[in-house]
Amino acid sequence: MSEFQNIGLIGRTESESAVISLRRLMAFLERGGYSIVLEEETASAVVDHNTRVSSKDKLGELCDLVIVVGGDGSLLAAARALAKFSVPLLGINRGRLGFLTDITPDQVEKKVGEVLSGKYMAESRFLLDMSVSRNGKVVGRGSALNDVVLSPGEFIRMIEFNLYIDGQFVYTQRSDGLIISTPTGSTAYALSGGGPIMHPKLDAIVLVPLNPHTLSSRPIVVEGSSEFKIIIGEHNIAKPYITCDGHDQVVTEVGDTIRIHKKPHRLTLIHPIDHNFYETCRSKLGWLS
């Protein structure tokens, strides 16, 4: 018997192709006798079903495995919601890039079947927790599997901030912002900003300045246990935004303190047994074979 009996499904509801793959996956799981739980928004897109429906949080309590049908963004959202429950995630790619959702739609039965029979790889990934304090009071929180990003917000202006790592002052910077990225996020926005590709198994965090107003500012890689403090400078006209995986947006003000550190709960990401990080880089980033 499979170790995964209660399987939660989350889909990219605005995508017709994702809904088609969801239906195909549901039929496959029903034939195998598995207990299926649909996330409530996903259930609204998959009409005419007799499947149990649950909130995203409840999936973490009810399920042994959650399968996400969509793009990397769908899996990021599921990871932020479910990491605290220690339920593993498996991704079927119905998005564009698919660094995290690595099963192709035409392989659903074959690859999901292999995973359910115990033929899979499990990776542990860490997330980041972020909080914004104003006058000693927390005014916003968020978590991220990919990255926490400080940006100018609605105005295209340079912003000024002070950076501290583990209580030590690093620099005052004027730039378009800063990306604080996990190894998972190193192939996302941080890569576009000139950061290094980091193997997912690394216990490290990279800080990537966005268009810094100096020639000497470069990405910094530090250990994963590091704690970061960013203080919004006094000479900002714009009100910088801080976001987590592009969500949980908080509009900051002069003097606000942003704190970022590793989340205590880790995510278990399931891959097919033949998953290869370097092959994924070759295919997704167009490296020569």
Q: Is 189 annotated as a binding residue?
A: yes
Q: Is 157 annotated as a binding residue?
A: yes
Q: Is 146 annotated as a binding residue?
A: yes
Q: Is 78 annotated as a binding residue?
A: no
Q: Is 33 annotated as a binding residue?
A: no
Q: Is 147 annotated as a binding residue?
A: yes
The question of whether 72 is a catalytic residue gets the answer: yes
Catalytic, out of 72, 102, 245, 256: 72
Q: Is 187 annotated as a binding residue?
A: yes
The DSSP-derived string for the chain is: --S--EEEEEE-TT-HHHHHHHHHHHHHHHHTT-EEEEEHHHHHHS-S---EEE-HHHHHHH-SEEEEEE-HHHHHHHHHHHGGGT--EEEEE-SSS-SS--B-GGGHHHHHHHHHTT-EEEEEEEEEEEEEEETTEEEEEEEESSEEEEE-TTS---EEEEEEETTEEEEEEEESEEEEE-TGGGGTHHHHTTPPP--TT--EEEEEEES-SSSS---EEEETT--EEEEE-TT-SS--EEEETTEEEEE--TT-EEEEEEEEEEEEEEEETT--HHHHHHHHHT---
Q: Residue positions in the annotated binding site for NAD(+)? A: 72-73, 146-147, 157, 174, 176, 187-192
**Positions at the binding site:** 72-73, 146-147, 157, 174, 176, 187-192
- Catalogue the active-site residues: 72
